[in-house]
Each structure stands twice: as structure tokens, then as C-alpha cells.
Amino acid sequence: MKSSDASRLTLILLFTPFALWIILLVILPQIGVGWLSLREKLGPREYAFGFGNYLDFFREPIYWNTLLRTAWISVLVTILALFIGFPVAWYIAKIARQRSRAALFLMCLIPLWVSDLVRAFGWILLLRETGIISGALQWAGLSSGPVELLYNDITVVIGMVYTVVLFMIVPLVSTLDGMDNALLEAGYNLGGSRLTVFRRIVIPYAMPGIVAGCIITFMLAAGSYLTPILLGGKNSMWFTEQIYEQFVTRYNWESGATFGVLLLVFTSGVVWLGLRLTGQNLASTVAKE
Amino acid sequence: MTARTTLIARLLAATACATALCIGAAQAETLRLLTWGGYAPDNVIALFEKEYPDIKVEVTLSNNEEMVAKLRATGGAGFDLAQPSHDRIFAAQSEFEIYKPLDLTQIETGKMQANLLEAVKANTTIDGAVYAVPHQWGTSGLVVDVTKAADVKDWSDLCKEEHKGKTSMRLRRTILLGMGFSLGYDPFALYNDTAAYSEMLDKVADKMIACKSVIKTYWNGGDDLSTLLLSGEVVASESWDSTAFKLYGENQNLVYVPPASGALTWIDTFVIPAKGRADDAAYKWINFVMRPEIVTIMSDSTGAIAAVEGGIELLPEAKKAAVKLAFDDAAIANMKFFANIPPGLEDIEGKVLERIKAASGN
């Protein structure tokens, strides 16, 4: 009896930091933001309760266009990250020798040791009109004048793929690592072509990893702030930038909170849709043992 | 209001604060400053702490919008002295009550330049109580590479086709006001007439959207702007005078030009947050940085002009030359002081800025 009490106490003590973290830093702020989003501002120090902030969002095309734009670019980033990440993960998990595997994995991790901000500035140095790539092109005679590669949507996509691709590689490597090579051999022995083996064996096996990677990269991309702001140009609006503007430069916390809730709901909706379309669920992907 | 800190500077400041917090824990009193990059240089802090060994100074770098947002989040707690611009006090105080009235007997107001002091007092008196005194002032105008774009004389010249892809501006309220003046309006006179002001903003938005094809990019901070100009990627831009004076120090072709329709003038002030805990130390700091010998060190770091009598003369030599080159008497007489922003106005402006940013132009 006593020992079970002790083990229960241990469990409670171990669980407490996690519970506090979830309640104080995730659930309570979410409730606060949700409540704030339902408060309508009538005038200085005058507030009412209602859905006016949400109606405002749908009445103003700039806002939902920005949200759709953010979602669309994030989906593009996710797809590109998958196409770039899969061969890398395949190489690390299946082709590389055991000894070099750790080194390769480490090489993927190293860029993450530098902050997002510094990496974004790295891209700026490379891509700006007087930057390294523009200079190299002129030196090689491929371009007659300086080339501006910064300040457009393509740059934003490149910068974000670079930032998030690691979060695609890690779940893919861990899934592919568990795949028995015998499965592939069996596929070939039964007369499957490379394409068939890839489509019928590798992809279904890797699906949980692919979906988990896609969810993480999509969420990271949609919620990123620095990369789109620093690399984007005069036309690039990003939804997180809208939220910042509402909170900070327009003193409009109510509408900023509304945007925050909408971003959460919208991205969750996209993830749900993705899970339905691929026939997966959260338990089989992100929470996989 | 000078060299608006980039995120790097902010991160550095945060680290510095964290360090200062650990070291300063044993000290008796802490003065927590919320200010602009350059407004609390290390050498001034060292001199201050030498004179008042029982006070420890902690600095957080910020900008106008973030200062108000930070103080609003805590109801005016967390800092003992803040430095928003003079037009950001009245509305923020009436709406959020984040500042406390100043005790003017504790401040050596006699040393301050009389017209600036009066302007700030007039803008920040609520129910008979004064909430701010001036510290540094400067203007927003244009910085121009005289060898390549000497014809840029007014805000709207940034949209000239012949400088396509070579101009820049900051997409904030300043440029809306500048363009308004350039189009022949007086935005400050329209502040209290929302309908007329919105109408002006519509015209300004049309102009700015048409202008997007000429603009290379919108800059975000002083560092951003400096790189664009020093690399030659941009030949004319909206600029703070302080940033432009710094650029002049590096390349004498980069000259500050007060726009023909008038340079927009701001005054950064001292205010005490509503729940500040070190008012005495705050007053000591205000009086300390207004001393002539400190003013010169401070202006060297901020690039702005102190609001004391003869503030221009107290500038370091190089900056004095740049100021005298930029401003003749007519330009000084033509300066337009930012008027108090009525509550709600920034929301209208915010929508216009969003519309401009979202509009597509190549």
C-alpha cells in the first residue's frame, strides 16, 4: 500500500511541471486570446461583447487574402521540403554506412544551431543586388548588370524551405530507418520495377513519417515571422505580420487576438484535411511510438 | 527615434538586461529605462552610476509602438522611465492610463529649450497635469545621393520614374503624412476631421500604390536603410535625419534633404510609467543627461539634437557640419511638428497602410 502511494506521488511530481507548463503557458493564454477576440472596441475604454471582430475579418478582403496567401505559400513550402527532404532522408537511412550516418545527421542539424535571424541575414547577404550571387553572375559574364534576387515571393519560399527542411528530414529518417530492407528485396524479387516498389512499398511504409513531417513544416511555415518579413518585398504580406501590426502598431489587441484564433483554427483545419486525404490520423503519425 | 534598433540590437539589449539583472540584484535601487537605441550609451550610464553609486541602470531598447504596447500590457509597470515621442502620449494616456504626472519642480526645466518645452507641455497636459518633458528632437525627411538624384527635393519625388528601382521608404504613418503635405494638404489641420482626413488618405494611398512600381523595397530600420544607401542600391529614400547624418560621416555624397513641403519634426520625451518604482532616480537621470557635457556624448550616440538651449552647438563637430549643411534658416522655419494623434486615427491609417502593402505593383 505504502509503496503504491509513493509511486503515485512520484507520478504526480513528475507530471506537475508538464501540467503547469500546459495550463499556464498554453491553455490559459489561449483562453485569454479567445476571450479578447470576442471583445469589441466601441471607443476609448468602451467595450462590448460580440463577434464583430470576426465579421470585420470576413468583410475585409485584404485580411482573408493574406491568410489564404500565407496558407498557399506554406503548402508550397511543405511540398518542396518533402521533395528535397525525402532523398536526403533516404540517403541517410538506407544508403549511407552506419558510421557516416551520425555525421550526416549532424550536418543537417548544424544550421539549426544558428538563430533564424542570422540565417535570414545570410540569405540577404547572398541574394541582394550588391550581394555575392549577383557579383558572381557578373564576374562570370552571365549577367551584364547587378541582379536583384531579394524582396520577392520566390526568395521567401527558398528561405523558408531552408529553415524548415530539417523538420521534414528527422521524422522521415526515423520512419525509413525502421523499414526492413527485406521488404524492398521481396518487392524486386516479385518482379516490381523501381517505380512500383517505391509507390507500393516505400511510400505506404513512410506515410506516417511523411504526414508527421508535413504537419510540422506546415505549422512552422504558417507561423513564421522573421523569414517572410526580412526576405519578402514590398508586396509580400504574411499573416503573422498582420497580427503583429494589429497588436503593436494599431493598439488593436481585440482584432489581433481574433486573427490569432483564426490562424490557429485555419491551420488546424488544413492539417485535419491533410490527415483525411491521406487516410492517416494523429495517433499514427505525430504521436507514433 | 534614431537608429531604430533591428532585432539584433534588441536581442543584444535583452541579453545585456538579463546580465545586468544578475549583477544588479544586490544594489539598492534600479532605474529601468525603456528607450530608443542609442539613447542610453554605455559611457553615459557609466558616468551616471559613478555619480550615483546606489543606482543601477537597466536599459531596454524599443520604439514608439512597442513602448506603448509594453506599458499597456502591464498597466504601466516594469519600467521607471520611458521615452516615447511627444505625439504618442496624449492618446495612449487617455485610453490606457499608462503614465503618471510629472513633478516639474524636480526637473531643471530652465535648461530646456523654451519653445520645445512649451510644445511638449501643450501636447501632453491632461486635466492640468503635465506628463512629459522634451529630451531630443529631430526630423524625418529625405536622404539623397547628390551625384545621382539631386533632383529629389520633396516626398513625392521618391516616385519619379527616372529613379525606378532606386528609391525606398518606410511604410509607416510618417510617409502618409509626408505624401499628404506633398499633395498640398495639411494633415495635422485635418486630424480632428475624420472624414476629410480619410479623404486625404485615399488620395495618398492612390499615389503610394502607383508609386510601388518605382520603389525598390520598404525599409524597416536604420540598419536596413544604411545598407541600402551605402551599397548604392538606393539613391534616394525617406530617412530620419540622424541616420542620414551618420551616413554623411561615411559617404559625403549622402546628404539629408528637408523636403520642400517641410521636414516632419518629432520630439522624444521623458515620461514616467504609471507604476514606475524609482521616480527619484528617474528625475536624477533626466537632469543628468541634460547637462551640457553629457548632451554632447549623448548626441554623438543618438545623432539627434538635445532639447536644451543651443542644442545644435553642443553636437559633435562632424554632426554639426551635417546639420548646418542640411538646414538653412528657411528649412528650420518650415519644420512641421507632429501634432497629437487623436484616439482612433491610427486605426484608419493602419488600414490604409495595409491596403498599400497588399496592392500589387511590380
Asked whether the beta carbons of B328 and B252 are under 8 A apart, the reply is no
Show the cell assigned to A210: 511523411
pLDDT in tens, A231-278: 888 888 899 999 998 888 888 888 999 999 999 999 999 999 988 888
The pLDDT assigned to A109 comes to 85
Quote the CA–CA distance of B347 and B60 in Å, as a whole number: 27
Residues B202 and B349 in one domain: yes
> Could you tell me whether strands B236-240 and B133-145 are parallel, antiparallel, or unpaired per DSSP bridges?
antiparallel
pLDDT at residue A150, as a whole number: 87
Residues of chain A positioned with their CB less than 8 A from the CB of B360: 235
Residues of chain B with Cβ-Cβ distance to A129 below 8 Å are: 231, 233
Chain A residues in contact with B65 (beta carbon < 8 A)? 248-249
Phi, psi of A223 (to 5 degrees): -95, 5
Give the pLDDT confidence score for residue B154 in this predicted structure.
Answer: 95
The neighbour count for residue A243, using CB atoms within 10 Å, is 20
Q: How far is A109 from chain B (nearest CA, A)?
A: 23
Site from A70, A154, A234, A236 to mutate, B interface, most B CB atoms within 10 angstroms: A234
Contact call for A129 and B231, based on CB within 8 A: yes
Distance from CA of A219 to the nearest CA of B (A): 23
If one compares A181 and A287, the residue with the highest pLDDT of the two is: A181
- Asked if B228 and B115 sit in the same domain, the reply is no
Partner residue facing B350 (CB), from A45, A65, A249: A249
Same domain assignment for residues B255 and B125: no
Q: How far apart are CA A101 and CA A287, in angstroms?
A: 25
pTM: 0.82
DSSP code of A201?
I
Q: CATH no. for residue B183?
A: 3.40.190.10
**Same structural domain, B131 and B194:** no
Pick from A65, A130, A245: which is nearest to B350 by CB?
Answer: A245
Q: Which three cell numbers stand for residue A2?
A: 505504502
ipTM score of complex: 0.79
pLDDT tens-digit readout, B78-114: 999 999 999 889 988 988 899 999 999 999 998 898 8
Q: Is the pLDDT of residue B3 over 50?
A: no
Residue labelled with grid coordinates 528485396:
A185
Per-residue pLDDT at B187? 94
Report the C-alpha gap between A223 and B335 in whole angstroms.
42
Is the pLDDT confidence value at B7 over 50? no
How far apart are alpha carbons B244 and B144 in whole angstroms? Answer: 9
List of chain B residues whose C-beta atoms are within 8 Å of the C-beta of residue A233: 217
Cα gap B34→A238, rounded to integer Å: 29
Residues of A within an 8 Å Cβ radius of B: 43-45, 60, 62, 65-66, 117, 128-130, 146, 148, 150-151, 226, 229, 233-235, 237, 242, 245-252
Give a yes or no: residue B13 inside a domain. Answer: yes
Report whether pLDDT(B231) > 80. Answer: yes
Other C-beta atoms lying within 10 Å of the C-beta of residue A271: 19
The pLDDT value recorded for residue B204 is: 96
- B18 with B59, same domain: the answer is yes
A65/B355 touch (CB, cutoff 8 Å), yes or no: no
* B116-163 per-position pLDDT tens digit: 898 899 889 999 999 999 999 999 999 999 999 999 999 999 999 999
Average pLDDT for residues A206-219, to the nearest whole number?
Answer: 92
Q: Is the pLDDT of residue B347 over 60?
A: yes
Angle (CA) A117-A123-A129 rounded to 5° is 130
User: What is residue B83's predicted lDDT score, i.e. its pLDDT?
Assistant: 96
Mean of per-residue pLDDT scores for chain B: 88
User: What residues does each domain of chain A span?
Assistant: 1-37, 52-284
B253-311 pLDDT per residue, tens? 999 999 999 999 999 999 999 999 999 999 999 999 999 999 999 988 888 889 998 88
User: What pLDDT score was predicted for residue B26?
Assistant: 45
Q: Is B232 on the interface with A (CB under 8 A)?
A: yes
Task: Tell me, yes or no, whether B35 and B72 share the same domain.
Answer: yes
List B271's β-bridge partners, or say none.
B82
Distance CA B124, CA B111 (A): 19
Quick one: B259 and B306 in the same domain?
no
Nearest-CA neighbor of A213 among A250, A181, A251, A166?
A166
- The pLDDT-based confidence of B5 (bands split at 50, 70, 90) is very low
Q: Report how far Cα B122 is from the mean position of its chain's Cα atoms.
A: 19
Range of the domain at B315: 7-137+266-329
Rounded to whole angstroms, the Cα distance separating A193 from A176 reads 20
Which residue's entry shows cell 476609448? A44
Q: Please name the residue of chain A whose CA is at the shortest distance from the CA of residue B212.
A: A234
Domain shared by B245 and B119, yes or no: no
For testing contact with chain B, the best of A249, A253, A259 (most B CBs within 10 A) = A249
Nearest to A250 among B165, B220, B346 (CB): B346
d(CA A259, CA A68): 13
Question: Residue B361 — pLDDT band, cuts 50, 70, 90?
Answer: low
User: For B6, which residue in chain A has the nearest alpha carbon?
Assistant: A117
| Residue A282, pLDDT score | 75
Pull the grid cell for residue B43. 559611457
Confirm whether B2 is domain-assigned: no
Residues B202 and B113 in one domain: no
pLDDT tier at B188, thresholds 50, 70, 90 = very high
- Taking contacts as CB-CB distances below 8 angstroms, the residues of chain A near B351 are 60
| Nearest residue, CB atoms, A233 vs list B217, B344, B347 | B217
A20-27 contacts, C-beta under 8 A, 24 or more apart:
none
Share of chain B above pLDDT 70, in %: 92
Q: What pLDDT, on a 0 to 100 scale, did the predictor assign at position A117?
A: 87
Question: Residue A67: CB partners within 8 Å, gap ≥ 6?
Answer: A239, A262, A263, A266
Same domain? B12 vs B107: yes
CB B303 within 8 A of CB B319: yes
Query: Which of B172, B217, B355 best probes binding to A when mutated, by most A CB atoms within 10 angstroms?
Result: B217
Give the neighbor-by-neighbor strand order of the sheet with B55-61: B55-61, B29-35, B81-82
Please tell me the class of the A52-284 domain: mainly alpha
- Residue among B307, B278, B305 at smallest CA distance from B290: B307
How far is Cα A152 from Cα A234, in angstroms, rounded to an integer?
A: 8
Q: Is B350 on the interface with A (CB under 8 A)?
A: yes
pLDDT for A232 equals 86
Instruction: Read off the pLDDT of residues A64-115 as tens digits, 9 standing for 90 and up.
Output: 999 999 999 999 999 999 999 999 999 999 888 888 888 888 888 888 888 8
Contact between B272 and B102 (Cβ < 8 Å): yes
pLDDT at A156 over 50: yes
Q: pLDDT value at position A48?
A: 82
Is the model's pLDDT at B22 over the cut of 60? no
Provide the b/e sequence for B242-269 (b: ≥16 CB within 10 Å): bbbbbbbeeeeebbbbbbbbbbbbbbbb
pLDDT of residue A279: 81
Q: Which of A130, A242, A250 is closest, CB to CB, to B233?
A: A130
- What is the per-residue burial (b if ≥16 Cβ within 10 Å, else e) of B21-34? eeebeeeeebbbbb
- Cα distances from B130 to residues A45, B135, B244, in angstroms, run 21, 15, 33
User: Distance (Å, rounded) from C-alpha B128 to C-alpha B143?
Assistant: 40
Indicate whether B226 and B152 sit together in one domain. Answer: yes
Which chain B residues have a beta carbon less than 8 Å from that of A57?
A: none
Buried b (16+ CB within 10 A) or exposed e, A44-58: eeeeeeeebbbeebe
Tell me the Cα Rg of chain A.
24
Is B187 found in the same domain as B149? yes
- Closest approach of chain B CAs to the CA of A278, in angstroms? 34
CB contact under 8 A, B358 and A237: yes
Neighbours of A260 (CB within 10 A): 22
pLDDT per position as a tens digit, B190-200: 998 999 999 99
* CB contact at 8 A, B204 and B180: yes
pLDDT of residue B294: 93
Domain assignment present for B1: no
Residue B25 has pLDDT above 80, yes or no: no
Interface check for B360 against chain A (CB to CB < 8 A): the answer is yes
Q: Which of A278, A252, A287 is nearest to A40 (CA)?
A: A252
Angle between helices A52-59 and A61-90 (to 10 degrees): 80
A-B contacts (CB, under 8 Å):
75
pLDDT at position A3 is: 66
Which of B276, B139, B357, B257 minimizes the C-alpha distance to A229?
B357
Q: What is the number of structural domains in chain B?
A: 2
